């Protein structure tokens, strides 16, 4: 196995990990949290948003930003593989990373600053309404984009194996 092949496999793994991460939020974490009362929901999301900032998550979240472009560059000259990986890179950068940086993180930061102890029930309900629907909508975009990127990477792996 060549270095390029190992890098492509790491790219596929990180792509799949991120797609699974966003997918699990869409189909289990957020629906579960959605059943909580307003103050429980906000407290849980504040806790999750603080804990997600850890080396294990950062490895896959930022690692894919290195491995996708690197795999694309190293596949130059393999025509279809290059274009598939290039498309995966663009889709992931815009639809997963970009949406996270410019959409979900600002929502998370605003929620983190919200003081549950000083808020009334009406303020808590309003804060949840500002956060939950928009965050979930953005996460659907991240889920779709990261899943599409992973599929494109996997197709590139399959085509590479056949050539």
Burial class (CB in 10 A: 0-12, 13-18, 19+), 146: buried
pLDDT tens digit sequence for 82-94? 999 999 999 999 9
**With 80 as the cut, is the pLDDT of residue 106 above it?**
yes
Q: Is 28 exposed, middle or buried (0-12, 13-18, 19+ CB in 10 A)?
A: exposed
Q: Which has the higher per-residue pLDDT, 25 or 1? A: 25
Question: Between 55-74 and 3-24, two packed helices, what is the crossing angle to 10 degrees?
Answer: 130
Q: How far apart are CA 148 and CA 91, in angstroms?
A: 8
The pTM for the full model equals 0.92
Domain ranges of the chain: 3-162
Separation of CA 9 from chain center: 19
CA distance 61 to 136: 19
Question: Which runs of E-coded beta strand occur in the chain?
Answer: none
Q: What is the pLDDT of residue 163?
A: 60
Q: Residue 112 CB: number of other CB atoms within 10 A?
A: 13
Question: To 10 degrees, what angle do helices 3-24 and 121-162 make?
Answer: 150
């Amino acid at each position: 196995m060549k270095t390029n092949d190992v890098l492509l496999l790491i790219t596929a793994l990180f792509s799949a990990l991120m797609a699974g991460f966003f997918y699990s939020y869409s189909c289990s974490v957020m629906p579960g949290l959605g059943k909580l009362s307003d103050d429980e929901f906000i407290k849980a999301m504040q806790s999750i948003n603080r804990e997600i900032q850890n080396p294990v998550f950062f490895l896959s979240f930022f690692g894919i930003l290195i491995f996708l472009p690197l795999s694309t560059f190293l596949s130059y000259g393999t025509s279809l593989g290059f274009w598939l990986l290039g498309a995966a890179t663009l889709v992931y950068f815009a639809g997963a990373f970009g949406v996270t940086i410019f959409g979900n993180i600002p929502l998370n930061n605003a929620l983190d600053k919200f003081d549950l102890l000083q808020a009334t029930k009406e303020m808590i309900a309003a804060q949840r309404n500002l956060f939950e629907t928009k965050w979930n909508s953005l996460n659907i975009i991240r889920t779709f984009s990261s899943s599409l990127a992973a599929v494109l990477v996997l197709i590139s792996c399959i085509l590479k194996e056949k050539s």
